[in-house]
Structure 1
């Protein structure tokens, strides 16, 4: 049985969230330009063993667009508080992994375990490339169509015919305009530097990325595995950046023993 909720944020925003299952709590955080449908193929099995919460990040999916500067770390805290959770495991992909890391460093007492899936990390110096330049220009122009095309070509490299392809394209195109607005109002991340403080993390950490993901995600995965004490790393074949939809059963098989 699942229940939908509307989570009020400290600054008046509203986040759509779903709670499903029973057991120890796990919160799922999706990446930029996506929404909580990223976890559609993982939630059914995961919720057989855990109290699973997933939510749409600010301005994406069914959550309200920001009208002023907001902080994704404070939004995550609002989700935990709304559901009465003192502590939870965090599973984050890409931007969601970055948020999970920032939250863990700010509130270590509230995190029981970390699973970082194709994660980014605040403070990382992304090397210049034609892709990053094209992203910057599309955001500057507010060109949602071009931004969606870039997202699909750079990050969903396995294409529409691979598992989850149709849903990935739908999510990306539906969220492209919302993403531009949300990222314009996002605060905190540019000033944060989790990469320099990974050794402070004490929560058990699992690092996962797909064999067909962006090369810089592989570089970040190596850094996370090296610098987070006791972190374990797994490379999954048959997956690009949208790993939970490409190889959900393989990912779930890694998550369940880590979160137990």
Structure 2
């Protein structure tokens, strides 16, 4: 991934983020098991107007983790909060993909002063999150719809994160009741839905949209779960237009 690697020690863990582009900052939070390098195509498009920081959560990508951290969504949220402060990015919009969207909702509800706007792309984040088994079945259905060029970077990211950590975080989705948190998200929020995404159903995005007071939803035709990689230009256009309208 082209750009500038940055490292900060946050709560004792060496934390990595890629930085590229120019303009006002925007932070990207990856999905479950994903890494910064999987968002290179999106960062390139967003970097035409924004300075993009593609953050690696602890235990993901090039960021350090511990066997006991992170193993739940609140761990991810607390670390993201501390990293935003350490990086001087308080007040920057946050873009979350898949589980990164759920982390972002948790951040906005529990740390409302940190982000003035949210972009949630194919987000998880309601009490009806499916079982781990059903999530895996949906991911298998989604694989043929993804870009072949993402396969090796994705496998590398999953290996780096490790099966144990991914399983614990996926299980926590079943217990992490973000539904009651969603009405506490009080900032402008864009929800981006992939029309051909078997992992996150359209009704899920509609439910999240209904629960967040300032949320709007947009759908990208033909896009799978990894729409940040297959449709980076469309995702970037929706994101940049939303941020301009929100004044962020």
- 1:13 pairs with 2:27: no
Structure 2 counterpart SS, 1:156: helix
What residue is the counterpart of 1:102 in the other structure? 106
| Runs (5+) with no aligned partner, structure 1 | 136-149
How high is the TM-score relative to the length of structure 1?
A: 0.81
Structure 1 residues 220-235: aligned runs within 5 Å: 220-235=204-219
Alpha-carbon distance, 1:156 to partner: 2.7
Alpha-carbon distance, 1:204 to partner: 0.6
Distance 1:258 1:152, change over 3 A: same
Structure 1 counterpart SS, 2:41: coil
Per-residue displacement from partner, 1:143-165 (whole Å, max 9, x unpaired)? xxxxxxx6862333414xxxx32
Q: 2: distance between equivalents of 1:104 and 1:188? A: 19
What residue is the counterpart of 1:199 in the other structure? 183
Distance 1:65 1:230, change over 3 A: closer
Q: 2: distance between equivalents of 1:49 and 1:130? A: 40
Asked if structure 1 preserves the Cα contact closer than 8 Å seen for 2:122 and 2:225, the reply is yes
| Runs (5+) with no aligned partner, structure 2 | none
Q: 2: distance between equivalents of 1:110 and 1:188? A: 24
Match of 1:158 among 145, 153, 173: 145
Structure 1 counterpart SS, 2:117: strand
Distance 1:19 1:82, change over 3 A: farther
Q: 2: distance between equivalents of 1:129 and 1:176? A: 16
Structure 2 counterpart SS, 1:155: helix
Distance 1:180 1:253, change over 3 A: same
Q: 2: distance between equivalents of 1:86 and 1:215? A: 31
Per-residue displacement from partner, 1:72-124 (whole Å, max 9, x unpaired)? 01221232122212211010010110110100101111111111100001x52
What residue is the counterpart of 2:243 in the other structure? 259
Distance 1:157 1:225, change over 3 A: farther
Structure 1 residues 110-259: aligned runs within 5 Å: 110-121=114-125, 123-127=126-130, 131-132=134-135, 135=136, 153-159=140-146, 164-167=147-150, 169-177=151-159, 178-183=161-166, 192-214=176-198, 216-259=200-243
Alpha-carbon distance, 1:195 to partner: 1.3
Per-residue displacement from partner, 1:215-253 (whole Å, max 9, x unpaired)? 643222011111111311111112110001111111111
**Bigger radius of gyration:** 1
User: More deviation in 38-47 or 123-132?
Assistant: 123-132
